[in-house]
Amino acid sequence: MQDIKINVQNADGSLTEHIAPTDMGLSLMEFLKGSEYDILATCGGMALCATCHVSVINGFDKLHEISDDEYAMLDTLPNITDTSRLACQLKLADELDGIVVKILGDH
């Protein structure tokens, strides 16, 4: 296992690069929360609250297919995009290396 790079697009459009471990079983939501981003994660990662809603700016095509539960939750949001995902449903793994996300969840 190796570390991967996760890039977060800031409000001003700039990117902040983070190095994330793939060997701890963390979700992207847990990693972002641990990196001091303002993510409520109200439901604790069960795809029930959408407070970890992100738009995948780069790397969306590398992600696993969205589940019915995740899509149902995203479909309730006013700011859904074509590349919206719930960060709690994305496990840190090699396919996320280099991904660029913008946090859209309710703050």
Please state, in angstroms and rounded to a whole number, the distance separating the CA atoms of residues 73 and 55: 14
Res 105: pLDDT? 85
Enumerate residue ranges in the chain where pLDDT < 70. 1, 106-107
Residue 70, Cβ neighbours under 10 Å: how many? 18
Concatenated DSSP letters for 43-78?
Answer: TSSSSSS-TTEEEEEE-GGGSPPPPHHHHHHHTT-T
Q: Are 54 and 104 in contact (CB under 8 A)?
A: yes
- Convert the pLDDT of each residue in 13-25 to its tens digit: 999 999 999 999 9
Res 1: pLDDT? 58
Res 28: pLDDT? 98
Domains of the chain from N-terminus onward? 3-103 (3.10.20.30)
Of residues 36, 22, 16, the one with CA closest to residue 102: 16
| 3 state DSSP class of 88 | helix
Please state, in angstroms and rounded to a whole number, the distance separating the CA atoms of residues 10 and 94: 23
